[in-house]
Structure 1
Amino acid sequence: MRLENKLNNKKILFFSVQTFNLEREIIKKLVDFGAKVNYYDERPSNNNFVKGIIRLKRSVYQHRIDTYYKKILLETNSDIYHYLFVNRGEVVPEFFLIAFKKSHPDCEFIFYTWDSFKNQSHPTKILKYFDRKFTFDPDDAIDFNLNFRPLFYLDSYSEIKKVSDNKIKYDLLFLGTAHSDRYRITNIVINWCNENKLASFYYYFIHGRLVYFFKKIFDKSFQLFDYKKLSFVSLTTNQILELYKNSNVILDINHPGQKGLTMRTFEAIGAGKKIITTNSEIKRYSFYNQKNIYLIDRNNIVLDKNFFSSSYQDVNNELYKKLSIEGWLHCLFVEKESNLWIIGVN
């Protein structure tokens, strides 16, 4: 079945945290295929203080969360919904899912997460309420009996790939949230680039000063982060796209406790850019090509200057299309495709 046939004139209640405007891109794509989308941020508020409280001490903010979801129940009670779509499930409470199902018994519940349960355990408490369940993490897929589906690239990245005369300004690009050992690794890689006369650009984002100061006290890895190099404002989609256009190789540093491939991986594939990554799991994926993807050991970083000058090899066209946001939505709403991506996940 085609995606437009599945979504046309269907009403979707969509929950997602605000993440670099990705939620807007998902909504736009759903609407493009004929869906009517009612969107709510998962969090009661998106300011940095609330983000910090939820991440560090959710119980302190639970009453506000419950009040927020009771209000949503009232606002959605009289509407007909064909799908409840939860992306990530960081704070969605059980009572809301139970009550919404009672008032919308024919609504199909779809869950997806682009975070590992090691980093966000709350979703494991609500999985049982969903009809279709997906994760980007191959281990979580096995451990929690979920469908496995990697992330996606936006259409705007494929537009970069189509242009052959993009002027390269940076040999290496790193964009990412500040966490774990990213600062240490990027410093080593950037210093190597400088020694080898390769230009680089890096951007560290963090969710608020409260999160920074808490981590500075309790997380040893944050002792190394230079406060002056951190940004508390995320880049816009257009800014990120412009950086991709001007870059040759994308540096990807996964969280040490996370095996799922990052969004940066798929953005790079979409844009036709080579990748240097710390995530050895990528070797298990059907699109892996050592001509395009260079693995580094986060504890023993060895780089090869030849990788920066070699040519990029296009990904198989069928796989490339399935890695798009349209392919991602088709998997979630129409047809599961776990066996397409990686060995050992059903």
Structure 2
Amino acid sequence: MKICIISFDYWNYDHHIVKKLQEKGIDASHINMGSYRYKSFGERAFNAISKIFLNRNIKHVKRQQYVLETLAKLGPQDKILVLNPHTLDYKTIKKIKSYTPHLISYLYDNLERFPVEDKLDLFDKIYSFEDKDVKKYGFEKITNYNYLSDQPLQCDTIENDLFYITSYDKRRIKLLRKLASRLATMKIKSKIIVVGKQVWKEKLRNFILKPSGYKLIEFKDKPLDGKIVLEEYKKSKVIIDLMRDGQEGLSFRIFEAMAFEKKIITDNVSIQTYDFYNSQNFLIINYDLSNIEDHFFNISYQKIPKSLYQKYSLNHWVNHVFGISSTHDYPKIVCPPLNISN
């Protein structure tokens, strides 16, 4: 069986899918649009001029050419999975579809953030982590996955009570200001990092206003290496998970915390609807954050049943999405046409 994954692997999660497929003896490939690089300084300069004066991003076009050229070399595939197809044009996806009888998509962002309704008819099957999109369009619900380990990872060294790293986002920043102020009144050893090109705005704000708790937040214009982030998770009792506007689906932090057996503080109320939810492991913050108390940091993590842990593993995710039988390496794949309705 030949399977190809096509994505813009922002956070280096998608390659885990390919690796897991390869472990199962499947001929799996990954076309990562994020790996495309300008061929010369002249090409970079031309694209900069094009974006300014023509409002056209040549790199966007080149990335799609890269996808099709790579796929042509790989040849026909039994299945192709496109993750978040907003990075591809309709014509490109239609060409991709010609290489496989089964074109699948997984939407790990909501359609409000990345509208792709005009491309959905091209896919034979669509999975989504967002309940409201599942209900409206008839997608199949699936969560993100625990890519770290099929068994919980043991962590002996604890250095921080709380850790959080996030990309710059207006909603999150507003909530983080309140959170930092709340934590400043508590004896909680915290490490909070915000990453993004616009963090200078917060640095300037903190320099001028010096709000309560501002020293608890560290701002960086470049992202941390993923391995460093995971080490910080391991060394902390609690991980924070704050949503983007309009998001209800579960982020990868939930499953990273599951792997390390760490507790979560979140503003995602939908977490209560999942079968792994335990009030001792999850604290859903209220509006004024008054329910963040020392008690939550002191109680022990409650282990979840092994069957539940494995249910959210990458192995289970891959088997489900690609229809891989536990007893056959190369199952017959059947994907009925998707009924898209507004």
Q: Normalized against structure 1, the TM-score is what?
A: 0.78
**Alignment of 1:193 onto 2:177:** no
User: What residue is the counterpart of 2:298 in the other structure?
Assistant: 309
User: What residue is the counterpart of 1:114 in the other structure?
Assistant: 108
Q: What SS is found at the alignment partner of 2:275?
A: coil
Paired residues of 1:43 and 1:65 also in contact (CA < 8 A): no
Rounded to whole Å, the distance in 1 between the matches of 2:244 and 2:291 is: 19
* Deviation of 1:252 (Å): 0.9
Rounded to whole Å, the distance in 2 between the matches of 1:13 and 1:61 is: 29
**Alignment of 1:266 onto 2:255:** yes
Rounded to whole Å, the distance in 2 between the matches of 1:166 and 1:135 is: 36
Q: Using a 3 Å threshold, how does the CA distance of structure 1 residues 322 and 185 change in structure 2: closer, same or farther? A: same
User: What residue is the counterpart of 2:96 in the other structure?
Assistant: 100
Decide which of 68, 71, 92 is 1:73's aligned counterpart. Answer: 68
User: What residue is the counterpart of 1:90 in the other structure?
Assistant: 86
The CA deviation string for residues 152-182 of structure 1, in whole angstroms up to 9 with x for no partner, is 12225x66x442x512111011111111232
Rounded to whole Å, the distance in 1 between the matches of 2:304 and 2:28 is: 32
Which residue type is aligned with residue 265 of structure 2?
I
The CA deviation string for residues 283-317 of structure 1, in whole angstroms up to 9 with x for no partner, is 11121111111111245543121111111111222
Rounded to whole Å, the distance in 2 between the matches of 1:146 and 1:72 is: 25
* Deviation of 1:190 (Å): 3.4
* Deviation of 1:99 (Å): 2.2
Rounded to whole Å, the distance in 2 between the matches of 1:97 and 1:162 is: 39
Q: What SS is found at the alignment partner of 2:86?
A: coil
- The 5-angstrom pairing of residues 322-337 of structure 1 reads 322-334=311-323
Paired residues of 1:20 and 1:234 also in contact (CA < 8 A): no
Rounded to whole Å, the distance in 1 between the matches of 2:96 and 2:171 is: 41
176-185 vs 288-297, which moves further: 176-185
Q: Using a 3 Å threshold, how does the CA distance of structure 1 residues 317 and 278 change in structure 2: closer, same or farther? A: same
Rounded to whole Å, the distance in 2 between the matches of 1:256 and 1:299 is: 18
- The 5-angstrom pairing of residues 127-146 of structure 1 reads 127-146=120-139
The CA deviation string for residues 127-153 of structure 1, in whole angstroms up to 9 with x for no partner, is 211112101111111111100111112
Runs of 4+ in structure 1 displaced over 4 angstroms? 43-47, 221-228, 298-301
Aligned pairs, number? 306
Rounded to whole Å, the distance in 1 between the matches of 2:292 and 2:230 is: 26
Paired residues of 2:129 and 2:141 also in contact (CA < 8 A): yes
Decide which of 117, 142, 146 is 1:124's aligned counterpart. Answer: 117
Rounded to whole Å, the distance in 2 between the matches of 1:272 and 1:224 is: 36
**Alignment of 1:155 onto 2:143:** no
* Deviation of 1:318 (Å): 1.5
Which residue type is aligned with residue 143 of structure 1?
K
User: What residue is the counterpart of 2:55 in the other structure?
Assistant: 60
Q: What SS is found at the alignment partner of 1:21?
A: coil
User: What residue is the counterpart of 1:7 in the other structure?
Assistant: none
The CA deviation string for residues 189-236 of structure 1, in whole angstroms up to 9 with x for no partner, is 334334321101111122xx3xx28x96xxxx9996889943232222
Cα RMSD, aligned residues only: 3.2
Q: Using a 3 Å threshold, how does the CA distance of structure 1 residues 304 and 318 change in structure 2: closer, same or farther? A: same
Q: What SS is found at the alignment partner of 2:179?
A: helix
Q: Using a 3 Å threshold, how does the CA distance of structure 1 residues 234 and 28 change in structure 2: closer, same or farther? A: farther
Rounded to whole Å, the distance in 2 between the matches of 1:225 and 1:179 is: 16
Paired residues of 2:105 and 2:127 also in contact (CA < 8 A): yes
272-281 vs 28-37, which moves further: 28-37
The CA deviation string for residues 234-281 of structure 1, in whole angstroms up to 9 with x for no partner, is 222221221111100111111131111211112112211111100111
Q: What SS is found at the alignment partner of 1:155?
A: coil
User: What residue is the counterpart of 2:331 in the other structure?
Assistant: none
User: What residue is the counterpart of 2:17 in the other structure?
Assistant: 26
Rounded to whole Å, the distance in 2 between the matches of 1:144 and 1:181 is: 27
Paired residues of 1:18 and 1:46 also in contact (CA < 8 A): no
Q: What SS is found at the alignment partner of 1:40?
A: strand
Q: Normalized against structure 2, the TM-score is what?
A: 0.79
The CA deviation string for residues 32-84 of structure 1, in whole angstroms up to 9 with x for no partner, is 2222233223458479x9xxx9xx99x93455433442453344336121111
Rounded to whole Å, the distance in 1 between the matches of 2:86 and 2:35 is: 12
Structure having the higher Rg: 2
Q: What SS is found at the alignment partner of 2:192?
A: strand
Q: Using a 3 Å threshold, how does the CA distance of structure 1 residues 252 and 171 change in structure 2: closer, same or farther? A: same
In structure 2, list runs of 5 or more residues that go unmatched: 39-43, 208-213, 325-342
User: What residue is the counterpart of 2:4 in the other structure?
Assistant: 13
Rounded to whole Å, the distance in 2 between the matches of 1:255 and 1:33 is: 35
